[in-house]
Amino acid sequence: MRKQSLRQEANLILSSNRGSFRERKYRRYVIYKMINNLFTVGKVPPNWKCIDATHMQLLVKHWHQQKIKPSTMMNYMTIIRKFLRTVGNETTNIDNQSLGIIASRKSHKRVNIPIERWQKIDEPVARLLLNLQIHFGLTLSEAMRLRSDVHVHKDKLWLTRELTFNSMDRCVPFRTDVQTKIIDEFILATDDLSTLIERYGYRSLCFAWNHALKKLRIPVKKSCRYLYAQLMFKELSSTYDKDELTKLLMDEMGLTSRISMWNYFNNK
């Protein structure tokens, strides 16, 4: 009888058109599940205002026994807390921490890959993509879409906003003979007119790059542009002070956060 009474009262509140159809459907599912689970644990209150922390603790314990994920429980509790406030129930101590709902967090292991390992890439196209990233600070996408007739200038790369990952112009000066040699190779590979995508095709480029990384057991999602930050910091540290050099490299790499720059310096 109590179970039916709770359902009837819930139906009046859940009849609201607030939210999308999918949200309303999920909200109804959670509240009905709550009622059924309270009945299962033998603790059905006479009405919604009588629900307290004890009811919720039994409910969460039951969910744990059902092996429901903590993240799912958190979603349930967000809906339940809001519903209880709607019916005028201001029960305290039903936050996630008090109920023992703790989200499991995966620890991200830092992958340290020395430049010597990257430089073992020997497939010509993949190696060119690599060099554009580690010697000019380009992203993989920027390296694929670089145009010699637009972006390559006498003493720098001028990366225009339609190319860059953050839609902002930036310049990367040529400082070394290695950079000049790489640009010569790039111009030769693209016939001085096209992008690498136009020359080889996007799928072929991705295949060549991923195959080269897998061959060396480097995660395919691992970016290598952090090497540009490290190489240039080492190269220019005697010319600039640390803060000035950090700002310079942030500009050249299109970064706005010093934390991102710090992560590049520390290979994260």
- The per-residue pLDDT for range 33-54, each reduced to its tens digit, is 999 999 999 998 999 999 999 9
Predicted pLDDT at 13: 85
Give the per-residue pLDDT at 18.
78
Contacts of 257 (CB under 8 A, 6+ apart): none
Give the angle 106-111-114 at the CA atoms, nearest 5°: 175
Query: Confidence class of residue 19 from pLDDT cuts 50, 70 and 90?
Result: confident
Q: Is the pLDDT of residue 66 over 90?
A: yes
Q: Per the structure block, which two tokens stand in for 137?
A: 């600070």
Q: Is 202 helix (H, G, I), strand (E, B) or coil?
A: helix
Question: Could you report the per-residue pLDDT of 70-98, keeping only the tens digit for each?
Answer: 999 999 999 999 999 999 998 888 999 89
Cα–Cα dist 52/58, whole Å: 10
Where do runs of H (alpha helix) occur along the chain?
A: 2-14, 21-40, 53-65, 70-86, 115-118, 124-136, 140-145, 148-151, 177-189, 196-200, 202-215, 226-236, 242-253, 258-265
* Coil, strand or helix at 173: strand
Mean pLDDT of the 122-142 span: 97
Residue range 154-181: mean pLDDT, rounded: 95
Confidence of residue 17 (pLDDT cuts 50, 70, 90): confident
pLDDT, averaged across the chain: 91
Q: How far apart are the first and last CA of the chain?
A: 59
Whole-number pLDDT of residue 136: 98
| Cα 268 to Cα 261: distance, rounded to the nearest angstrom | 10
Q: Could you say which DSSP state residue 152 is in?
A: B
Contact 125, 210 (CB under 8 A): no
CB count within 10 Å of CB 200 equals: 17
Strand partners, 152: 157
161 pLDDT tier (thresholds 50, 70, 90): very high
The predicted model gives 140-167 an average pLDDT of 94
Which range, of 16-20, 134-138, 151-155, 239-243, averages the lowest pLDDT? 16-20
Q: Which amino acid is at 201?
A: G
* pLDDT score, position 109: 58
Q: What is the pLDDT of residue 103?
A: 78
pTM of the model: 0.61
Mean pLDDT of 239-262: 93
Lowest mean pLDDT among 67-81, 121-135, 184-198, 254-268: 254-268
**Phi and psi dihedrals of 94, rounded to 5?**
-120, 25
What per-residue confidence (pLDDT) applies to 9?
A: 86
